[in-house]
Amino acid sequence: MKIGVNYYPEQWNGSLWEKDAEMMAQTGVKIVRIGQFAWSRLEPKDGEFNFNRLDDIMRMFKRYGIEVVIGIPTNCPPLWMYEAHPEIRRVNPDGKKVQLGIRGHRCINSPVFMDYAKRITERLVRRYGSDPNVAAWQIDNEPDSYPCTCEVCREKFHTWLINKYDTLENINSVFGTAVWSGEYSDISQIQPPAAYPEELQNPALCLEYSRFCSDSTAEFVKEIVMIIKRECPKAKVTANVCFSQHNPDFYRLFSELDFVSYDNCPTLRIPDDPDANYSAAFYLDLMRGVKGRNFWVMEQLSSSAECCYEMPPTARPGQLSGYAFQALAHGADNILHFRWRSAVSGAEMFFHGLIDHSNIPGRRFYEFSEFCKAAMKLNVLDTTEIVSDVAILYYPDNEWAFRIQPHSGGFDYMEQMKSFHTAFSRYGANVDIVHPDADLSGYKAVIAPAMYIYKKSAAENIYRYVINGGTLVLTSRSGVKDANNNCIMNSLPTVYKELIGAEVAEYDSIGSHEQTIVDFSGNQFSCRQWCDILRLTTAKAYAEYNDSFYKCCPAVTMNRYCSGVAYYVGTVCHADFYESLVGNIMRQTGMPRLMGLPKGVEVTTRTNGLNDFICFFNNSEKEAVISLPKSMYSIIESIGKEKIDLKPFGFDIVRK
């Protein structure tokens, strides 16, 4: 387990390098990431390479016992390349080329750009691939599925469609182009989605272009991996990702990579809304689930971070170390803070680092230093993993499809997942977030929120899980669309009707309007956004509506199916409902529950098969006290404890 930093030596006078490296070593930094934006320094002119400075930097970090992650700098080609080859620039949906001056403005489908990308990769790996101090290689920076509409992308999209659908007639059929007289008579007529709002355009076309863009990103990553592995077969290769407007399919993206890396930016302002799912734990668990094993945090927030809008608040005392610990608790093995020092120039100068512009170490730096010392005690976690009884299913197609056609005001696919994740976390349960095709057999409960786009293998997997005795929760807006993003002509939830033992007679999009439901015990909960009015076949009503013309109609159902149980939640509720439902499911399935955890306290367990290590993190601005069932040994404080006292954003680990 290593704690490190992101470092950009090309942005600093060389006189600072040695001082920085020495200070890093004294602080406890074990690993640095360099190089991902340094292409213009490495290749100042076409075909003229200069690695002298990078050689010096590599030798310097080796002297101080600090490992290096080398970033392949393909995100920011030098300006000479754009000047010589203007065709490599991305083209926006409005048909205009992206203006130079920002990053990531190259088209990854451009064969010209790809040749240059492979060449710089090959040169770097040949030079440093045999260096044992290189811990890993990072491809590009935050690879995204940008919707480029250049001529190369258009033609490649045409080929992609023909490879998938064989004929133009099949494309017309699955796209439903008879609507608005949009039938294609020639493949050249198929254009990427335009600059119009996506909800006004063909949903099938928009979804297929999202898939194409994601596939293009994954193919680009694969090509660079092949170069690295050809030159250095034992190299460890990753890519750092974040959540953005155009998320790629992370499962496909990382299929060719050795491990997942994530850029973690938790919110620094705790929201006043008690229902807000603000914890970064959800995204950390999702990243761990991409490959089903522990991951790295390649960029960990060090303080207020903004380069587009006004600056948010600075990190409160304890947040910097607390959020780094939270990442460890959810399966991160190595964490690199972004960044060592705040930049004094460029768009990210107010994306604050550990050391401010003054270059004088302050409160945040000393907190980071203390965390580095604490991390040295955590080598007991090096061989541990997270084993979960609960899985939440995440399907990228659903995310893309809901973006294309937004639903009721406030209805959000990710929030559907977060509500259940937060509820299970309130009871101290580990949660995996996995692809719908993942092996579900080891889970006591599976949550499948808004399975909007039909995927045959996923539906079969869900049925198989329940048939074999699993407990499933399905929610509204499931089974709505076929694989082509067209509505299925059947009563909802179509393919899942038999499983849930009910069907949707009608639905009501109520937006922010609040209504109520009453469960089987007489407990009343508020609901909003969406109301499926259910007609029972074999299911029983778990909760009924208490308002509107569908008062007394089922809102939530429970159905015994073969050896398992399937719940259906037909509306969207506040946190108290999800905690109640999840609590009942955990009790019925025999999952242990930690009762009475203070608000904001998160508990996860990492295990090596012999010992369990329970991680406590106080993700709130109030002190918290947790009583333990017996005296347990604190890894952090090296003493036995009968209770855990946590300051705001404080943390502890005990051996069970």
Q: What is the DSSP string of 397-441?
A: HHHHHHHHS--STT--HHHHHHHHHHHHHTTT--EEEE-TTS--T
Q: What confidence score (pLDDT) does residue 274 get? A: 85
Preceding amide of 493 cis, omega within 30? yes
Cβ(531)–Cβ(508) below 8 Å = yes
Q: What angle do CA 505, 509, 512 make, to 5 degrees?
A: 145
The neighbouring-strand residues paired with 5 are: 32, 337
Q: Checking phi first, is residue 552 left (phi over 0); if not, alpha (psi -120 to 50) or beta?
A: left
Q: Where are the beta strands (DSSP E) in 192-271?
A: 237-238, 240-241, 261-264
Per 3-state DSSP, what percentage of the chain is helix, strand, and coil (rounded to 5)?
A: 35, 25, 40
Torsion sign across C-alpha atoms 564, 436, 584, 506: negative
Q: What confidence score (pLDDT) does residue 307 get? A: 64
Q: What confidence score (pLDDT) does residue 310 get? A: 79
Closest CA to 148 of 190, 106, 199, 205: 106
**Residues in the chain with pLDDT < 70?**
306-308
Cβ(394)–Cβ(421) below 8 Å = no
Give the length of the chain. Answer: 656
Residue carrying the six token digits 């490296």 = 21
Alpha-carbon span 575 to 275, nearest angstrom: 6
Alpha-carbon span 119 to 354, nearest angstrom: 34
Contacts for 522 with CB less than 8 Å, ≥ 6 apart: none
Cβ(605)–Cβ(386) below 8 Å = yes
Q: What is the DSSP string of 442-492?
A: T-SEEEETT--B--HHHHHHHHHHHHTT-EEEEESS-S-B-TTS-B-SSST
Q: Read off the tokens for 139.
A: 């491809």
Alpha-carbon span 106 to 522, nearest angstrom: 58
Q: What is the pLDDT of residues 410-424, one digit of tens each?
A: 999 999 999 999 999
Number of Cα atoms under 13 Å in the Cβ half of residue 62:
12
H or E element, residue 80: helix 79-84
Q: What confidence score (pLDDT) does residue 556 get? A: 98
Q: What is the pLDDT of residues 127-164, one digit of tens each?
A: 999 999 999 999 999 999 999 999 999 999 999 999 99
Alpha-carbon span 364 to 314, nearest angstrom: 10
Positions annotated as catalytic residues are: 142, 299
Contacts for 563 with CB less than 8 Å, ≥ 6 apart: 466, 467, 468, 469
Residue carrying the six token digits 């890093």 = 24
Alpha-carbon span 392 to 440, nearest angstrom: 10
Amino acid at 278: Y
